[in-house]
Amino acid sequence: MLSEQLQLFRLPSPPATTRTRHLLIGGRIVDYRLKSGAKRLTMTIDERGLRIGAPHRVGLTEIEAFVREHREWVLNKLAELAHATQPRHVAVRDGTRLPLLDGEAEVRVLPGANRVRWIGEQLVLEARAEADLGQLAMRALQKRALAHFGERLARYCGLLGLPTPKLSLSSAHTRWGSCSRHGGIRINWRLIHLPTHLGDYVVAHEVAHLVEMNHSKRFWVVVGSIYPDWKTARVELKQRTTSLPIL
């Protein structure tokens, strides 16, 4: 992560705004969300669809020309999401099975006062009749994630001879982790649904930022010193993004 330089003698930018628009690409009408106020033109596609970030100074004609220039990538990515084979939205109930690291967790729902606990790989939700079981399950998974990634963070910091920084969890839609010398390391709790080696890659990546706050060649050398197979893990992580369950 690079520190932003303080910009003097410059008026503050207007606040970012977001709106939905439509664009004809290859004979198909594509909806997209446009967020003005970004530093540069960007495009991202996930389960929420196509999203574009653009600076205030960039007009709509230039924005849509930018999208059409990348139309093959846009259409292929949207088709990939539309044909994802694994259902994303999961209704949590007694007997539901959720991916958990290298295995699965079975959900048991019992009457109770909205408490959660783990019995091995079994997730027990002691719930009131009106309880949101998805929220209870999320609470339990986040508790499990904090313990698991805390242990992995200590391991990878130890490999570099670094003290273990503060760990917190995030629910970001587009980032697996982040690192700040003052704020510590944040790991996306949803990684608890993926195999252990992929979570390890993200943790190792963020730990390497404690040494190199950038993505230079030196940074990747540090990553490789504690997680040699990082290239393979990075590709696999991208491929699995659309298979994560949504509670």
Q: How far apart are CA 216 and CA 227, in angstroms?
A: 16
Helix-strand-coil percent breakdown of the chain, rounded to 5?
A: 35, 30, 35
pLDDT tens for 38-85 read: 888 999 887 678 889 899 899 989 999 999 999 889 888 887 776 654
Q: What's the predicted TM-score (pTM) here?
A: 0.66
Phi/psi region, residue 43 (left: phi>0; alpha: psi -120 to 50; beta: rest), is beta
**For the chain, which domains are there?**
17-82 (no CATH), 135-243 (3.30.2010.10)
Alpha helices in the chain (DSSP H): 60-69, 71-82, 133-159, 196-209, 217-226, 230-240
Question: Nearest-5° angle of CA 131, CA 246, CA 139?
Answer: 45
Within 13 Å, how many C-alpha atoms sit on residue 218's CB side?
6
pLDDT tens for 179-204 read: 988 889 999 999 999 999 999 999 99
Q: How far apart are CA 185 and CA 199, in angstroms?
A: 13
What is the model's pLDDT at position 9?
Answer: 32
Q: How far apart are CA 114 and CA 130, in angstroms?
A: 10
Are 200 and 154 spatial neighbours (Cβ–Cβ below 8 Å)?
no
| Residues in Cβ contact with 120 at an 8 Å cutoff, skipping those fewer than 6 apart | none
The pLDDT profile of the chain, 247 residues, written as one tens digit per residue, is: 433 333 333 334 444 455 678 888 877 888 888 888 888 899 988 767 888 989 989 998 999 999 999 988 988 888 777 665 455 688 899 999 999 999 999 999 999 999 999 998 899 999 998 889 999 999 999 999 999 999 999 999 999 999 999 999 998 877 899 998 888 999 999 999 999 999 999 999 999 999 999 999 999 999 999 999 999 999 888 888 777 888 8
Q: Name the token pair of 66.
A: 């930018």
What is the model's pLDDT at position 204?
Answer: 97
